[in-house]
Structure formats: structure tokens, C-alpha cells
A = this chain, B = another copy of it.
Amino acid sequence: MTQIDINILIVWGAVARKFKKGEMIFWEDEVAHFYHQIQSGTVRVYNINDEGREFTQGIFSDGNSFGEPPLFSQDTYAASAIAMTDAVIYKLNIEGFQRLLKEYPEVQHGFNVLFAKRLYDKACMAREIINSPESRILAFLKKTKHAATKEEGLFRIPYTRQEIANSTGLRVETVIRTLKRMVKENKVEVKGHKLFY
């Protein structure tokens, strides 16, 4: 699903910019100057702590926008964004974005709906903090399911164990061991290291 129609974006001054795999798009605590919408590629929004441990706030791909909240709330970025693959991203400066919003109430409403869904997802992940690793992984798989491609009735989870760990706040080893138990109990399937749910 595309957040804002490309043509409208361009008319209001958005510019496509290429990012190399691994290139930073913005940094935590920075002031937000641009609206970002992905034409192609995938982007990871994440935090990193003093010990170098990472937490993934979200992963975004074709058509998605990301890093928009500060454009509305005057906050700085709560996390950093990095290109996980080569990517092309439309950037529209905040002034243009705000004018566009005023002009198109449907777009305004579109962000209400988008933010509402994000809040729902965040709430679902947050409540897992008091649950077992298995429950936390299941919550992540459930949330991630709609983003996955279906193969023979099951969803192929396109993330590495490390990424699942970063998204759930667990460690890789815990994810691996928990998934193994879940395979035994027919809660997930693994074919050649690939994970299905």
C-alpha cells in the first residue's frame, strides 16, 4: 500500500534520492526536515544502546513511509534509519509536506489511519514484554505475517533469526532455541533454515 500518491508527492516538490545498502537515512535525536516514502528497497528503523545492542522499531519497504511522527509532533527522531538494501526514496521537505497535508484532507486522514494502526501494532508488541520468548516471537510472526509472501498455505518469514531477535528484544540464541521447540510442537515450520508460519 502506497501512503501518498507518487504524482501528488512530485507535484508538491518531492525528490527521489538513491541510498546504497547500509547508508544512513537519518539519525536518532536529529530534527526532522523531510517526509520519506520508499519507491523501492527496504529500510530499517532502529535504536542502538551503549553496549552496541540493537532494537528494531520497524522495517519498511516499497510504498511505505517512515519517520513521519516528528513532522507532526515537533519531536526529534526517536530512532535511526538505515537502508537494508539499495533503495530509492522520495524526500519532501517539511514545509511542502505540511502544505500538501492542508490541501488534501484525505491524505491527512490517511495518516490518522496509518498512525492508529502503528499504535495498535506497538501496543501488541509492548504487552508481550511480560510474556515468554515463545509468545513474544509468535506476536512478532503474527504482526509480520501480512508482510510475508504465502507459499503452500504458510507464510515465508523473510527475516533472519538475528532480525527476529532485534525486533523482540531477545538474543539470537534464544530465538533459535525457542523456534526449535516450536517446530517440535508444530507451531512453526522450518525447511532448510527457512522459517514458515
Binary contact readout A116-137 vs B (1 if CB under 8 angstroms, 0 otherwise): 1111101111110111000000
* Oligomeric state, in copies: 2
Please list the residues of chain A having a beta carbon within 8 angstroms of any beta carbon in chain B. 47, 49, 53-55, 57, 68-73, 75, 78-79, 101, 105, 108-109, 111-113, 115-120, 122-127, 129-131, 169
Q: Is the interface of A mostly helix, strand, loop or mixed?
A: helix
Task: Let me know if A130 and B73 touch, CB within 8 A.
Answer: no
Query: A108-B105, A108-B108 in contact; A73/B117 too (CB < 8 A)?
Result: yes
Select the residue from A53, A129, A169 with max chain B CB neighbours within 10 A.
A129
Task: Let me know if A130 and B78 touch, CB within 8 A.
Answer: no
Contacts of A57 in B (CB 8 A): 123, 126-127
Contacts of A169 in B (CB 8 A): 129-130
Contacts of A113 in B (CB 8 A): 72-73
Contacts of A54 in B (CB 8 A): 130
Task: Let me know if B115 and A108 touch, CB within 8 A.
Answer: no
Task: Let me know if B78 and A116 touch, CB within 8 A.
Answer: no
Could you tell me the distance in whole angstroms from the C-beta of A14 to the nearest C-beta in chain B?
A: 19
Report the separation of the CA atoms of residues A126 and B127 in the bound assembly, to the nearest whole angstrom: 10
Could you tell me the distance in whole angstroms from the C-beta of A183 to the nearest C-beta in chain B?
A: 23
Report the separation of the CA atoms of residues A126 and B115 in the bound assembly, to the nearest whole angstrom: 16
Could you tell me the distance in whole angstroms from the C-beta of A169 to the nearest C-beta in chain B?
A: 4
Could you tell me the distance in whole angstroms from the C-beta of A69 to the nearest C-beta in chain B?
A: 4
Q: A57-B123, A105-B105 are in contact. List 8 more A-B contacts (CB 8 A).
A: A55-B127, A69-B115, A69-B116, A70-B116, A70-B120, A75-B116, A108-B109, A129-B129
Task: Let me know if B127 and A47 touch, CB within 8 A.
Answer: yes
Report the separation of the CA atoms of residues A105 and B109 in the bound assembly, to the nearest whole angstrom: 9
Report the separation of the CA atoms of residues A112 and B73 in the bound assembly, to the nearest whole angstrom: 8
Task: Let me know if A78 and B118 touch, CB within 8 A.
Answer: no
